[in-house]
């Protein structure tokens, strides 16, 4: 297969972890006889530094003309600590999602048996947890207008807006995903208080009959926040709006023991984007200590997305092997045991393809 892959390493550890994922992708191309062509582009703080814009037109063009995008991370302490900054790296990410029509963010949460003991939750609670969060990504309060401040600066407002079309398409994706898994769907909302949630719930109920084999449950977001860590193995597919999904997926990430292990896919109109769920971890940048596994597993999702299932599995098996043999970075190494650098972990996994 010929594949055009846009590479957006971004900030902080982004370039290092994307570099290792590319090494693994190259090993896949070599072994299975594919041709992957890469096109690199700027996004985030590094794009602001170079062009003044966190998502420059040139980057959008490269993404639009590619089959898939592999994304590292964005964010820089220079902006986090400056609430008055006019341009922020995060704006680039939001504009990119909107411009590429990436309306669903898919975050699988599975616990590697050999890492279950690293979770801050009790091992017996997290063992066997295996669910997927589907987060709506281009609507809701993130994008609703008006948004801003009153003239005197003492009142601020955001607007949460959802249309039937926006809700239906992401629910459809979640129902289909549940159909391909254990056939359970949890719709998370706050329908007891907010109007957009009531529309979500109404539409989900309308869709239920056409997915007869799926068991659907409705859960308020505050309750869901509790259930996800109290009994994570209860869930199969969770679907929710943008802001709730942002919060719940960070919460869910602690179940697995390390943020450095979790991949994600953002899908929608045409081009799909794959990225680790962790941030740019600026303190680790350039030190060869960042865990590349979340990005490498994102590359596995990328391969599966374009239909290369065997190749995706080969990547996952190599990651498993690295974990079993202890070729891991310090965040997941057992206390007192040797840990490896970003590049060593990447070479090991690429070498096992």
Using rule CB under 6 A, residue 93 touches ligand IPM: yes
**238 three-class SS:** strand
The minimum distance between CB 231 and ligand IPM, in angstroms, equals 24
Element (H, E) at 69: strand 68-73
Catalytic residue among 79, 190, 331, 352: 190
Using rule CB under 6 A, residue 158 touches ligand IPM: no
| Cβ neighbours for 155, distance < 8 A, ≥ 6 positions apart | 149
The minimum distance between CB 93 and ligand IPM, in angstroms, equals 5
Q: Is 250 among the catalytic positions?
A: yes
Cβ atoms of residues 174 and 133 within 8 Å = no
* Rounded Cα–Cα distance for residues 276 and 94 (Å): 16
Contacts with ligand IPM in 229-258 (CB under 6 A)?
Answer: 246
Catalytic residue among 55, 79, 103, 142: 142
With CB under 6 A as the contact rule, the residue among 26, 39, 53, 90 that binds ligand IPM is 90
The minimum distance between CB 12 and ligand IPM, in angstroms, equals 12
24 binds, among Mg ion, ligand IPM, none (CB under 5 to 8 A by kind): none
Q: Is 26 among the catalytic positions?
A: no
93 binds, among Mg ion, ligand IPM, none (CB under 5 to 8 A by kind): ligand IPM
Using rule CB under 5 A, residue 246 touches Mg ion: yes
If phi > 0 it is left, if psi is from -120 to 50 it is alpha, else beta; for residue 336 that is left
Here the contacts of 190-193 (C-beta below 8 Å, separation 24 or greater) are 190/220, 190/221, 190/222, 190/244, 191/218, 191/220, 192/220
The minimum distance between CB 90 and ligand IPM, in angstroms, equals 4
**Residue of 230, 227, 235, 178 lying closest to 207 (CA atoms):** 178
Query: Which residue number, 41 or 73, has a Cβ lying nearer to ligand IPM?
Result: 73
330 binds, among Mg ion, ligand IPM, none (CB under 5 to 8 A by kind): none
Tokens of 322: 């690295």
Question: Which residues contact ligand IPM (rule: CB under 6 A)?
Answer: 90, 93, 246
């Amino acid at each position: 297969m010929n594949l055009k892959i846009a590479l957006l390493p971004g900030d902080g550890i982004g370039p290092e972890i994307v570099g290792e994922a590319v090494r693994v992708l190259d090993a896949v191309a070599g072994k299975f006889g594919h041709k992957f062509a890469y096109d690199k582009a700027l996004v985030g703080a590094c794009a602001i530094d170079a062009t003044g814009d966190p998502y420059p037109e040139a980057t959008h063009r490269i993404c639009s003309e590619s089959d898939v995008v592999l994304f590292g991370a964005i964010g820089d302490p220079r902006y986090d600590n400056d609430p008055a900054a006019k341009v922020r790296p995060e704006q680039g990410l939001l504009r990119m999602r909107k411009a590429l029509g990436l309306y669903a963010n898919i975050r699988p949460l599975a616990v590697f048996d050999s890492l279950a003991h690293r979770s801050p939750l009790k091992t017996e609670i997290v063992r066997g947890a295996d669910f997927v969060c589907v987060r709506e990504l281009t609507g809701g309060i993130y994008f609703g207008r008006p948004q801003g401040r009153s003239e005197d600066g003492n009142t601020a407002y955001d607007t949460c807006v959802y249309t039937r079309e926006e809700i239906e398409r992401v629910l459809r994706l979640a129902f289909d995903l549940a159909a391909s898994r254990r056939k359970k769907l949890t719709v998370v909302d706050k329908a007891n208080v907010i109007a957009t949630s009531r529309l979500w719930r109404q539409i989900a109920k309308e869709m239920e009959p056409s997915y007869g084999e799926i068991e659907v449950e409705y859960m308020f977001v505050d309750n869901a926040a509790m259930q996800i860590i109290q009994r994570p193995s209860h869930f199969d597919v969770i679907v929710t709006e943008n802001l709730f999904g942002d919060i719940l997926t960070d919460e869910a990430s602690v179940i697995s023991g390390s943020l450095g292990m979790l991949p994600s896919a953002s899908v929608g109109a045409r081009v799909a984007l794959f990225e680790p769920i962790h941030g740019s971890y600026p303190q680790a940048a350039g030190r060869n200590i960042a865990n590349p596994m979340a990005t490498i597993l994102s590359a596995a999702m990328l391969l599966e997305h374009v239909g290369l299932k065997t190749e995706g599995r080969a990547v996952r098996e190599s990651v498993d092997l690295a974990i079993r043999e202890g070729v891991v970075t310090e965040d997941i190494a057992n206390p007192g045991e040797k840990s490896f650098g970003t590049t060593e972990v990447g070479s090991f996994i690429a070498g096992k393809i």
